[in-house]
Amino acid sequence: MALWLILLIPLLTVADSQPTNGINQTDLQAAMTDMRMRSYYGFVILLKILDSIPNSLQSTDLTFLMPNDEQLSHFSITPGNLHDFILSHSIPTPLALNHLLHFPNGTLVPSSIPSRMIRITNIGREGMFLNNAKIIIPNVCQSSWIKCHGISAALTFGNMVPPLQATEFEDHSKNNVPKPFRHVKRKKAPTVQ
Ligand SMILES: *[C@@H]1O[C@H](CO)[C@@H](O)[C@H](O)[C@H]1NC(C)=O
Ligand SMILES: *[C@@H]1O[C@H](CO)[C@@H](O)[C@H](O)[C@H]1NC(C)=O
């Protein structure tokens, strides 16, 4: 029963915080047709699975970043991390290559998972990189509001923790480390009495 609640709570909070009706299915279908035309079959299948879960795709303002089928086949994707995988391979705003080219070199944009940042690096003739992955086929999605680009690898988010979060984490641990003993003693005293 406890497990059941733990699983349900995130679903409820997601539903609460998003009064919109989710992604526009017409746009999503059009984007998937574009993806299929460039052979991004694996990504389409993952999108379909995710889209079958209510409220998992909440907005049509999206840019998908798609590793190709071969890259996807190497990546470990489980039912538990599918949502994170797709959302971290998307940017919550529709960006064609032209828009990406206008970002200053090195700009960090949040993926649809805000704590996972994507750094846009323009290496001249070498092309444009998003974190570790190079954009190989830009502007795959052309026929709807949704944008998408083919990239050379699954994105990695190794040392991409934003500085603010890093310091918060540090402070937190500094505050907590000396305290547990005192905290435990205080808590135990009343229960003994
Ligand atoms: C979805 O998008 C299409 C075209 O992009 C539009 O015609 C349609 O009204 C939209 N549907 C909803 C429910 O917003
Ligand atoms: C962008 O930055 C990278 C390294 O951060 C550098 O290698 C590259 O030359 C820069 N690109 C331009 C166009 O200045």
Does 26 have pLDDT greater than 70? yes
How many residues can be counted in the chain?
193
Which ligand approaches the C-alpha of residue 145 most closely? Answer: 1
pLDDT in tens, 158-184: 755 544 444 443 443 444 433 333 443
Straight-line distance from the first to the last Cα atom of the chain, in angstroms, rounded to the nearest whole number: 33
Question: Domain map of the chain by residue range?
Answer: 20-160, 162-193
What is the spatial distance between Cα 140 and Cα 17, in angstroms, rounded to a whole number?
A: 31
What is the spatial distance between Cα 89 and Cα 118, in angstroms, rounded to a whole number?
A: 9
What is the spatial distance between Cα 138 and Cα 19, in angstroms, rounded to a whole number?
A: 32
Amino acid 158: pLDDT: 74
Report how far ligand 2's centroid is from the alpha carbon of 123 (Å).
Answer: 5
Q: What is the DSSP letter of 186?
A: H
Query: For residues 15 and 161, which has the higher predicted lDDT (pLDDT)?
Result: 161
Amino acid identity of residue 35, one-letter, is M
Mean pLDDT of all residues in 16-27: 70
Amino acid 126: pLDDT: 87
H-helix or E-strand spanning residue 149: strand 147-151
Give the pLDDT band (50/70/90) at residue 124. confident
**Under 8 Å between Cβ of 193 and 114:** no
Report how far ligand 1's centroid is from the alpha carbon of 95 (Å).
Answer: 19
What is the spatial distance between Cα 14 and Cα 69, in angstroms, rounded to a whole number?
A: 30
Amino acid 15: pLDDT: 41
Q: In whole angstroms, how far apart are CA 20 and each of 95, 104, 114, 184?
A: 21, 32, 19, 45
Amino acid 184: pLDDT: 39
**Under 8 Å between Cβ of 31 and 144:** yes
Report how far ligand 2's centroid is from the alpha carbon of 120 (Å).
Answer: 10
Prediction pTM value: 0.74
Q: Which residues contact 143 (CB under 8 A, 6 or more apart)?
A: 30, 31, 33, 34
Please choose from 108, 122, 134 the residue to mutate so as to test ligand 2's pocket, defined by most ligand atoms within 8 A of CB. 122
From 92-101, 117-126, 160-169, the region with the lowest mean pLDDT: 160-169
Closest Cα to atom 13 of ligand 1: 24
Q: What does the mean pLDDT of the chain come to?
A: 80
Share above pLDDT 90 across residues of the chain, in percent, rounded to a whole number: 64
Report how far ligand 1's centroid is from the alpha carbon of 62 (Å).
Answer: 15
Superfamily of domain 20-160, CATH level 4: FAS1 domain (2.30.180.10)
